[in-house]
Amino acid sequence: AQSVSQHNHHVILSEAASLELGCNYSYGGTVNLFWYVQYPGQHLQLLLKYFSGDPLVKGIKGFEAEFIKSKFSFNLRKPSVQWSDTAEYFCAVNLKSGGYNKLIFGAGTRLAVHP
């Protein structure tokens, strides 16, 4: 069965530290990849997405992610985090095959940034 793994469940950083959150998926076909973020008390919102083309995608708020097909990975990065990046981050894949149009999520990573 298709699945998404997020390596870290909890990450604690100081402001200005660099961030990398790991995401691996298990599916051999064509995938569309997403990172969603949920700030405290807010909706899930899209941070960035990869459909095709340049495997390095830029998202909102200075985030980026790199799709490495050979490694089945889509890691999220930010060079310098801020206190306002404290949130829960979810990696998700959307299977691009026939009638499939559902998101499969990882378990989420809670990021706490200390000032």
Partner 1 sequence: EAGVTQFPSHSVIEKGQTVTLRCDPISGHDNLYWYRRVMGKEIKFLLHFVKESKQDESGMPNNRFLAERTGGTYSTLKVQPAELEDSGVYFCASSQPGTGGIYEQYFGPGTRLTVT
105 binds partner 1 (CB under 8 A): yes
**Interactions with partner 1, residue window 31-50 (CB under 8 A):** 32, 34, 36, 42-46, 49
CB of 46 to partner 1, least distance (A): 6
Report how far residue 24's alpha carbon sits from residue 91's, in angstroms, rounded to the nearest whole number.
9
SS3 category, 62: helix
Which is it for the CA torsion 68, 71, 72, 73, positive or negative?
A: negative
Task: Give the C-alpha separation, 3 to 12, whole Å.
Answer: 25
Per the CB < 8 A criterion, the answer to whether 11 and 21 are in contact is: yes
Q: In the bound complex, what is the minimum distance in angstroms from residue 43's beta carbon to partner 1?
A: 5
Task: Between 36 and 81, name the residue whose CB sits nearer to partner 1.
Answer: 36
Q: Interaction with partner 1 in 49-78: which residues (CB under 8 A)? A: 49, 51
Q: Which member of 26, 82, 84, 101 binds partner 1 (CB under 8 A)?
A: 101
Q: Out of 29, 40, 53, 99, name the contact with partner 1 by CB under 8 A.
A: 99
Name the DSSP letter for residue 28.
Answer: S
Q: Provide the residue count of the chain.
A: 115
Secondary element (H or E) of residue 4:
strand 3-6
| Positions that interact with partner 1 (CB under 8 A) | 4, 32, 34, 36, 42-46, 49, 51, 90, 92, 94, 96, 99-108
